[in-house]
Amino acid sequence: MTTPSVEDKLRAAAYAAHVQVPDVFRIYDHLRTGFITRSQFLRCLDQSFKLQLNNKDESYLWEQYGWQKPDQINYAELSKLISCNFDPSKFISRPEEQGTQEQTARFVKQFNRQTLSANSERKCLEILRRCKNFCQGHGIDVRSCFQDFDKHREGRVSEYQFYRCFPGPSNVSEADLRLLAARYYDNRTRSYDYIKFQSEILNLGKLSTILTVPYRIEIYIAYILILDAHGIRTTDFFKDYDKHHNGVITENQFLCGLSLVCGPYLTLTRDERQILVDNFKQSNQRVRYREFCSKMENPFVDPDLEVKPLSITYQPPKGALARPAVQLTEKEDMELHRIISEIGNTVRKRRLLLYPYFKDFDKKSGFSRSITRDQFARALQFISIALLPQDLQLLYKRFEHPKGKEIDYTAFIQAVDQEFIASTQDSISSKFPKKEQPKAVQTLTAKSQTSSLDDLIARIKHILLTNRIRAFESFTDFDTLRCGSITENRFRMGLSNMGFSSMGKYNLAESEFKSLCKHYADPNRQQHVLWRCFMDDVDQVFTGKELEKTPSTVVAPSETALLPRLGATNWNNVEDRRKERLNAILHRMKKNIEQRRVLATPFFRDFDKHNHGHVTSFQFRQCLTYMGLHTSDEELQIIEEKFADSEGFNYVEFLQVVQPEKRDQPTYATRLNARNIDQFSTNPSDGFTSHSTEVRQLIDSLKSKVMKERIRVSEFMRDYDRLRSGRLQRATFRRALDLCRFGLNIDQYNLIENTFLSTQQEGYVDYVRFCDEIESAITVKGLEKDPLAEVSQFSVSRDVIHNELTREEQQLLQSVMTKLAERVRQRRIQLFPMFEDYDRVRNGNVSKSQFRRVLSMLALDGAVSEHEFAVLAKKFIHSVGGRSDIDYVTFSDCIYDMCGFEWRKP
């Protein structure tokens, strides 16, 4: 091997460091003269090339490139020679055939090569395999372990940093680590190449997992399930033995920690414990407990997944984690099949939901789907399933986990209930009936491959009509230019907004979508759809287009677009005998519901969470059981044949037959016609006879209401009299009185209108005269012209005046009031202060006991007997808020009037 020149050494160093030679020296040449000093040149070689030259090489470079200027070297000429990939003076051979770059790379390889023996190479490969297993098991990235010390990202670290950041198992001895470090040592840079270390680990190939023995897999799976069910952290039981925190402990310490972890939940034999120890034992007879805990706590997930989002995690095959079934003898298997069949028949007849009963006992920290024996027996007792002790022991033996000693209730429910699916793997005996697979999602048409386009559009029209969906709002946002054409993807999104997608309520098959795109394809633009043409076709179900131009066009009713339910049976083609059988079944159910007064709708709505009017077949049978409507399987099949469709059982139509809603007939038109007849009747004697006493009572009641509520009737009337004529039509007059909220009936309206008819114009009412009469309760009109006139205050009439008494009671009341008035007049008694002390809300009423107490305090109870008091109470009783009190205000006014006192001044 020839000795390389100084230029070859510089070229090899530049090639290995991946640097541009002129850029390195140009940092110190601010004027771009091509010369730098000797100290600057040596500094560049040390910092950028990681190269230290001896005195002989320095003298050679100084003689060749430093003779032009004193104390300076021509780096520009040296850089051209080092960075050149071919010799420009050789015109005979082509540049790519000179091989300057290949020779440089070959020299770099020879310059950095470390000579290891064959045994050392094989030992290094074994160490690399162990490192790869460790990195894959813990999710370690080799490069990220060293990059914290490699600030310039050169791919090299020092010896101390390589030992400190070594990402390997703890069972690698110091000699093995020193041998591995020698493999990646770079003599030129005096550092260790961790990039090469990472690439060799990745290129070793995928190493098979440790769990290769089936028996060992069962141990791990049982262990993992116990940890997950009880929320156990295995590291807490081992770290107390690891005083130096290096991840290894002795074999006895590992067995002690393993027994603490298992506790009463899992029993391991001596052979099983020894398998775990041998799997994680090192050459120095210590056990790597930290690696064991990592595998147990993170069995199927990478703990550092956020750092490596693209890494592929191991996913066990379907059914691999299923608990192994206990093998039974042939006799026990037959007996178990008999017990399962009996329980299954009971569950099917009574339509029981077993899962909630057993799930209530599964209250552990992890959802393990397992309960104890006592809880299993108690759940069976709750649902009234009585079993013999030997039968119960056989169920325990079949569904009990061999390690945890708990019952897998989901496997039991799956065996006895055909509607329940615990897992896709059939872990139950093959003699048990298999579960039905869920049905595929129905498309818009029953046969999407053979259905025509007209049937598809007709079905879409039916859905838009029944759900009142507007197609324009679903597509207009995607057509920003309003050109009526959008892409196929946006057309699919618009259909999805309308609910026609696999995620929506109505599934649209791919063939159906392609047929729509082909029919409404834009001839001027590829892969575009004329959505406006589609919208015009489907919106015809609501109304025609441009009807204002052709008003005489006859529009077909919307009901013609209604189609039968998708997947429903055409009941017209069914035999008459089957129809009669169905009518008899429905009639019997209807009579049963009417006699027992059962409200059936809530039972179905509890299962219909989304209120789309359908439930499953099993839910329908469950509702019938809740309502007590017991029917046979044949009768249920007939009912489902009538009301079932592709979405399920249509319970809305079923309830319309067995429990129809009683809808009130609309009476608005009838009442409006009757009111119009009475409103425009001009004969005042029709239906009512006018008398002066009746008019006076009505006017007094209106005055009392105006006096109490301070209503100005003239303001409501004046709004309808634009010309200020003082007259209003009958209908307008009634409308104004309605705004006053007098609460008058038809007869009272007629009485007032006939009393205040206008003499100037027929059919009009003189509202000014009516307002003056009503508002005289507040004041007298024209006081500014007669200021000396005396005005009497209007007394509000009380409701007690209308209390009717018999003739004997009227005579007895008159005598009692005369005696009380005489005593009050003689003694000049004030009645109001005593009554007002008990009337805290000031509504003019007191209770009967309070009224009697006031009479006793005023020494008036001696003049009133029990019978006379009952007559007084009957006369002055007044209902307020549902209570019958006595109106003491009217009573006091009557007494004062009989005494001849001034108004409320004794």
Q: Residues 340, 380: one domain?
A: yes
Give me 18's structure tokens: 């991946």
Q: Which residue has the higher pLDDT, 800 or 314?
A: 314
Give me 600's structure tokens: 């059936």
Q: Residues 475, 384: one domain?
A: no
Q: What domain range is 514 assigned to?
A: 453-546
For residue 425, tell me if it sits in a domain: no
Q: Residues 542, 497: one domain?
A: yes
CATH classification of the domain holding 366: 1.10.238.10
Closest CA to 290 of 333, 254, 339: 254
Give the whole-angstrom CA distance, residue 792 versus residue 780: 9
Q: Residues 880, 831: one domain?
A: yes
Q: Residues 766, 860: one domain?
A: no
Q: Residues 614, 641: one domain?
A: yes
User: For the ranges 104-118, 216-230, 762-776, which has the lowest average pLDDT?
Assistant: 104-118
How confident is the model over 778-815, as pLDDT tens digits? 777 777 887 887 777 666 555 555 577 788 888 888 88
For residue 687, tell me if it sits in a domain: no
How confident is the model over 457-478, as pLDDT tens digits? 888 888 888 888 888 888 888 8
CATH classification of the domain holding 741: 1.10.238
Q: Residues 582, 651: one domain?
A: yes
Q: Residues 36, 71: one domain?
A: yes
- Given a cut of 50, whether residue 432 has pLDDT beyond it is no
For residue 625, tell me if it sits in a domain: yes
For residue 25, tell me if it sits in a domain: yes
User: For the ranges 144-158, 195-209, 762-776, which has the lowest average pLDDT?
Assistant: 195-209
* Partners of 877 in beta bridges: 886
- Given a cut of 60, whether residue 435 has pLDDT beyond it is no
Q: Residues 130, 198: one domain?
A: yes
Model confidence, pTM: 0.35
Q: Residues 61, 103: one domain?
A: yes
Q: Going by C-beta distance under 8 Å and a sequence separation of 6 or more, which residues neighbour residue 830?
A: 906
Q: Residues 106, 137: one domain?
A: no
Q: Residues 102, 141: one domain?
A: no
- What is the total count of domains within the chain? 8
- One DSSP character per residue, 519-554 reads HTB-TTSTTEEEHHHHHHHHGGGT--SSTTT-TTPP
Give the whole-angstrom CA distance, residue 210 versus residue 280: 10
- Domain end (from 87, 112, 137): 112
For residue 686, tell me if it sits in a domain: no
- Given a cut of 80, whether residue 209 has pLDDT beyond it is no
- What does the angle CA 752 – CA 756 – CA 759 come to, to the nearest 5 degrees? 150
For residue 683, tell me if it sits in a domain: no
For residue 318, tell me if it sits in a domain: no
Q: Are 770 and 742 in contact (CB under 8 A)?
A: no
Q: Are 706 and 775 in contact (CB under 8 A)?
A: yes
How confident is the model over 161-172, as pLDDT tens digits? 888 888 888 778
Give the whole-angstrom CA distance, residue 870 versus residue 873: 5
Q: Is 767 helix (H, G, I), strand (E, B) or coil?
A: helix
- Domain end (from 168, 203, 238): 203
- Domain end (from 398, 416, 434): 416
For residue 750, tell me if it sits in a domain: yes
Please report the pLDDT score of residue 708 as a whole number.
Answer: 73
